[in-house]
């Protein structure tokens, strides 16, 4: 082979190796977690859905509690519009019960909530949907909107400075309480290698007067998570739910089954406080 050709091939090979190394290093840097992107958040939701008017209503709902206190409950009572979304005329409180702090909702009267939407538009002779235009009203005169039963919602979103233990939250984080007799259960498929699922007992207090055929559907959910950017947004979380449907007058204290799933998501690149690994990327409080 000609010497000049060998030299040229060697130069090309060196250039390709350098380029491949640069690309590989760039990809490596891109998929590394960005400490400034770490966020630690929690969201609590309480759904209340009566299908008839209830009177003299008192509801006590589980709250995320740790060491006798509930940041979520404090946020609901404070009513900060940046954190709390609830019906504007609702009065809420955190009350101490035999089962610990719980969210109290009280009403002289609670009526069903409904959502209305326009009915489907008729199909024209050519098979197309009759769409509104300047010459066509949005609905035919006398058309009745479709009315469906809706729910009331108290929604709280909080941000924390410190990482959240999403693998073993009951040991160190606010979780829905009361939390009684937690038992391991099978996780839904597919589930990550870190996922664990449990059922637990909890309590709700439901006191009110209602027609015999009335129902009240109550559902409480709580999710806490860590998120960060590492070549794309990723993170891990734990989730809890507890709910019940009852008929007639409020039964008072009700034993309810709760469900939780921990270790949801990925722990690669998570803050050291989450994975318990001194070599993991740390995050600063602030």
- pLDDT tens per residue across span 159-218: 999 999 999 999 999 999 999 999 999 998 777 788 999 999 999 999 999 999 999 999
HEC states along the chain? CCHHHHHHHHHHHHHHHHHHHHHHHHHHHHHCCCHHHCEEEEEEEEEEEECCCEEEEEEEEEEEEECCECHHHHHHHHCCCCCEECCCCCCEEEEEECCEEEEEEEEEEECCEEEEECCCCCECCCCCECCCECCECCCCCCCCCEEEEECEEEEEEEEECCCCCCCCHHHHCCEEECCEEEEEECCCCCCCCCCEEEEEEEEEEEEEECCCCCEEEEEEEEEEEEEEECCCEEEEEEEEEEEEEEECCCCEEEEEEEEEEEEEECCCCCCHHHHCCCCCCCCCCC
Instruction: Give Cβ neighbours of residue 159 (< 8 Å, ≥ 6 apart).
Output: 39, 40, 41
pLDDT of residue 30: 42
Residue 135 lies in a domain: no
Host domain of residue 257:
35-114+149-275
pLDDT of residue 283: 31
Strand partners, 244: 218
Residue 131 lies in a domain: no
Residue 101 lies in a domain: yes
pLDDT of residue 272: 64
CA dihedral over 6, 7, 10, 12, signed as positive or negative: negative
Split into its structural domains, the chain has a count of 1
Q: pLDDT band at residue 145, thresholds of 50, 70 and 90?
A: confident
pLDDT of residue 29: 44
Residue 231 lies in a domain: yes
- pLDDT tens per residue across span 224-258: 999 998 888 889 999 999 999 999 999 999 999 99
Residue 172 lies in a domain: yes
> How many CB atoms are closer than 10 A to CB 64?
24
Residue 165 lies in a domain: yes
pLDDT of residue 282: 33
Residue 236 lies in a domain: yes
The position carrying tokens 């007058």 is 249
> How many CB atoms are closer than 10 A to CB 68?
9
CA dihedral over 33, 34, 36, 38, signed as positive or negative: negative
Q: How many residues does the chain have?
A: 286
pLDDT of 281 strictly over 90: no
Residue 2 lies in a domain: no
């Amino acid at each position: 082979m000609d010497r000049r050709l060998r030299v040229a091939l060697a130069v090309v090979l060196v250039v390709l190796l350098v380029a491949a190394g640069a690309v590989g290093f760039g990809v490596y840097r891109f998929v590394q977690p960005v400490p400034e992107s770490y966020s630690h958040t929690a969201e609590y939701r309480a759904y209340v859905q009566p299908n008839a008017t209830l009177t003299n209503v008192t509801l006590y709902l589980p709250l995320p509690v740790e060491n006798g206190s509930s940041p979520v409950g404090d946020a609901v009572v404070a009513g900060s519009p940046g954190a709390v979304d609830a019906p504007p005329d609702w009065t809420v409180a955190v009350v101490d019960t035999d089962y610990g702090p719980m969210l109290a909702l009280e009403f002289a009267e609670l009526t069903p909530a409904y959502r209305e939407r326009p009915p489907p538009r008729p199909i024209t002779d050519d098979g197309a949907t009759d769409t509104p235009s300047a010459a066509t009203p949005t609905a035919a005169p006398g058309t009745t909107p479709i009315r469906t039963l809706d729910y009331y919602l108290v929604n709280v979103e909080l941000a924390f400075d410190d990482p959240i233990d999403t693998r073993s939250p009951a040991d160190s984080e606010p979780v829905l309480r009361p939390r009684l007799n937690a038992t391991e259960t099978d996780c839904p498929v597919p589930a990550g290698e870190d996922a664990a699922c449990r059922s637990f007992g909890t309590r709700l207090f439901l006191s009110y007067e209602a027609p015999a055929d009335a129902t009240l559907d109550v559902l409480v959910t709580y999710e806490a998570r860590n998120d960060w950017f590492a070549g794309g947004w990723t993170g891990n979380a734990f989730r809890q739910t507890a709910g019940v449907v009852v008929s007639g007058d409020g039964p008072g204290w009700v034993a309810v089954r709760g469900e939780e799933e921990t270790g949801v998501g990925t722990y690669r690149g998570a803050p050291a406080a989450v994975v318990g690994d001194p070599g993991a990327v740390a995050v600063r409080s602030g």
